[in-house]
A and B are shown apart, each in its own frame.
Chain A
Amino acid sequence: KAGVTQTPRYLIKTRGQQVTLSCSPISGHRSVSWYQQTPGQGLQFLFEYFSETQRNKGNFPGRFSGRQFSNSRSEMNVSTLELGDSALYLCASSILPGLNEQFFGPGTRLTVL
């Protein structure tokens, strides 16, 4: 069974631009969570989607948003990029939300110049 896929793997943007990242969960998984990983802060929870509804949201500004489609694929968007948004963005899928085994994708490395 194919794992979690994320596209693109690498992205370079400049301040003020916006970006959209995509995540395809494992087939049959309906829950998708997004995390931001930086060397200083570690993994920080962005949001979780289940059945096209945002179930939980972390402590990030409104510039960070996401959505989930009927096929469970998810996208996250960051508007008005700042230098501090440079990070590895990880997507994880699980069969159900909450504390279930999460399978992570390889991440999208975003660099903001």
Chain B
Amino acid sequence: TQLLEQSPQFLSIQEGENLTVYCNSSSVFSSLQWYRQEPGEGPVLLVTVVTGGEVKKLKRLTFQFGDARKDSSLHITAAQPGDTGLYLCAGEEDNDMRFGAGTRLTVKP
């Protein structure tokens, strides 16, 4: 069973649209990270959130950590083809990093 559930699994949208992907768990995490992985490459860290309710912005990407530190969301505004990739969330629990299965995003021009 996946400790971190990500939804949706797949998302295909047109350039310029907005989207939100989710990362949910029944466990409380001391911190949570979001990564983006492109084909043929390893994941690249986008952001780390550590405080419940925290919101971080990275250009067109907005990350939110739930108040209870069990869930997180990633919102992309005006998506571009360069945003295409696999978005992974990862949480630290008992000194282990746990990853979700990811949301595969395709942004069509």
Contact = CB atoms under 8 A, between A and B. Distances in A.
Given A43-B88, A99-B30, A99-B31, A106 B41 contact: yes
Contacts of B41: 104, 106-107
A4 interface: yes
B49 to A, nearest CB: 11
B96 A99 contact: no
Interface size range of chain B in the complex: 20 to 34
A2 B90 CA distance: 25
A71 B30 CA distance: 31
A102 B99 contact: no
Given A99-B30, A99-B97, A104-B42, 20 more contacts: A35-B99, A40-B101, A41-B101, A42-B101, A42-B102, A43-B88, A45-B96, A45-B98, A45-B99, A55-B95, A90-B43, A92-B42, A97-B95, A98-B92, A99-B31, A99-B33, A103-B45, A104-B43, A106-B41, A107-B41
